[in-house]
């Protein structure tokens, strides 16, 4: 039986549940075209029992998790509609994840200001963090991709893994609602939050500055290389960044990219201290 959240979703968008039945029919046809003759769980192209054990969750509706695992390349095998890939569930999961993490930070970091909370959130929901977690969960082995995507490493690609984590979360939300989705995020992401926030490699200060600036109507940050020195094998760049009238700062690095990251970090610190 669906949760109250799912009942609300059904009322707001009855086509959502109809599409799930259509998805089951589409997958049956797809599996038959590529050699699977039955719609029984044992004949699915993945081991559902192993997957559910891996994510500590058993789905009421198996078709929704199959959609979450379906990369757009896989549907090209049967020339099916791309809306049946996991991209819509990824879109939903992204929004659900954003709310869960925001609520967690709001309740557990009461003494920190909005800027610091935004910084923590951007790290926790980053592609890099989600992709690494999905890799540790070994979710990539369940991703349905075509041979081309497989050969180019798509099953283990960071972006695909991050998208897969969000799609699985979206599927759990549809299957049983917010509270169960929150438990999934608590178990696999928030339980690692100290480790993730302590690792500087997860921080993307340019993305954070862009989001922070646009949210306040300041427009795009402007980066400019103001100095470049040293031999080719040991270059040093100095970059300045300006954010409307809110602040300006410089950063140094061995590449333009590193210098821009440090400049963005420095201007964020300057803005938040004012």
Among residues 113, 15, 27, the alpha carbon closest in space to that of 67 is found at 27
- The reply to whether 43 belongs to the active site is no
- Which residue is associated with the tokens 């500055």? 209
Candidate list 94, 149, 182, 260, residue with the active-site label: 94
Candidate list 80, 84, 90, 166, residue with the active-site label: 166
> Other CB atoms closer than 10 Å to residue 241's CB: what's the count?
25
Q: What are the b/e assignments for 168-207, b being 16+ CB within 10 Å?
A: bbbbbbbbbbbeebbebbeebbbebbeebeeeeebbbbbe
Among residues 31, 59, 215, 53, the alpha carbon closest in space to that of 122 is found at 215
C-alpha angle 240-203-230 in degrees, rounded to nearest 5: 40
Q: What gap in Å lies between CA 170 and CA 166, rounded to an integer? A: 6
Q: What gap in Å lies between CA 224 and CA 23, rounded to an integer? A: 50
- The reply to whether 94 belongs to the active site is yes
What lies within 8 Å, CB to CB, of 259 at 6+ separation is 225, 237, 238, 239, 251, 252, 253
> Other CB atoms closer than 10 Å to residue 100's CB: what's the count?
23
Among residues 106, 125, 117, 128, the alpha carbon closest in space to that of 166 is found at 125
Residues classed as catalytic:
94, 166
């Amino acid at each position: 039986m669906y949760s109250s959240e799912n009942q609300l979703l059904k009322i707001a968008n009855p086509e959502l549940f109809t599409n799930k039945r259509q998805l089951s029919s589409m997958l049956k046809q797809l599996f038959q075209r590529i050699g699977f003759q039955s719609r029984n769980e044992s004949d699915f192209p993945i081991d559902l029992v192993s997957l559910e054990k891996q994510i500590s969750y058993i789905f009421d509706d198996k078709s929704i998790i199959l959609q979450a695992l379906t990369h757009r390349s896989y549907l090209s095998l049967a020339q099916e509609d791309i809306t049946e890939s996991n991209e819509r569930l990824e879109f939903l999961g992204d929004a659900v994840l954003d709310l869960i993490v925001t609520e967690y930070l709001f309740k557990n970091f009461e003494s920190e200001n909005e800027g610091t909370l935004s910084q923590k959130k951007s790290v926790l929901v980053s592609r890099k963090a989600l992709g690494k977690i999905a890799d540790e969960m070994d979710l990539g082995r369940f991703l349905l991709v075509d041979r081309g995507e497989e050969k180019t490493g798509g099953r283990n690609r960071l972006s695909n893994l991050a998208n897969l984590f969000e799609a699985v979360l979206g599927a759990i939300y549809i299957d049983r609602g917010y509270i169960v989705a929150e438990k999934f995020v608590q178990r696999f992401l928030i339980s690692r939050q100290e480790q993730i926030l302590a690792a500087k490699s997860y921080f993307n200060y340019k993305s954070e500055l862009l989001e922070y600036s646009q949210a306040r109507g300041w427009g795009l940050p402007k980066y400019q290389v103001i100095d470049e020195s040293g031999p080719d094998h040991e270059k040093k760049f100095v970059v300045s960044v300006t954010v409307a009238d809110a602040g300006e700062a410089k950063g140094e690095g061995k590449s333009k990219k590193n210098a821009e990251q440090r400049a963005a970090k420095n201007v964020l610190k300057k803005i938040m201290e004012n």
